[in-house]
Amino acid sequence: MARRIKISFPDLGMEVLADLNEEGAPDTCEHVWKSLEKPVEGPFYHGHETGPEIFFMMPAAPDLPNEASTVFPIPGDILFYHYDGQLPHGEKVYDIGVYYGRGGKGLLAVGWTPGNLVATVTEDLQKLQQAGRLISNKGPQRAIVSRVEG
């Protein structure tokens, strides 16, 4: 059985479950799993250029390979991004993008940016779609990303 993660939106009363893509992106999945030894809490933002995507920032990662990379995610795809962004000091950007609708794309101001397909939402995609629309309309929302044990 695949390892799973949970994304909870406590203020919205919603949560979704996702299976890690360990076969397609083993190094990325291992990094994400280790990063979630303690649940990660923070705001989810709505993507501006990427279409129906919500995202949250991750701590710095080791140099990860491109694994199961795509620039055309489908609803339910969770991508791990690690790219040189347009930050003030040229820092690398690390984030998790969660796609909740059709028409998502990895086209950013820095150009086409592939993300590693790290997981897929397998339960409650409709709740994810609702959360995405609320974040798009109301602004960032607090979320908790954690491991599902057992």
Q: Is there a contact between 120 and 78 (Cβ–Cβ < 8 Å)?
A: yes
> Cα–Cα distance between 122 and 16 in angstroms, integer?
8
Percent of the chain with pLDDT over 90: 77
* Residue of 28, 108, 17, 16 whose CA lies nearest to 64: 28
Asked if the model's pLDDT at residue 66 lies above 80, the reply is yes
Asked if the model's pLDDT at residue 88 lies above 90, the reply is no
Its CATH architecture, for the domain 4-148, is Beta Barrel (2.40)
Flag whether the pTM goes above 0.85.
Answer: yes
Asked if the model's pLDDT at residue 97 lies above 70, the reply is yes
> Cα–Cα distance between 53 and 133 in angstroms, integer?
10
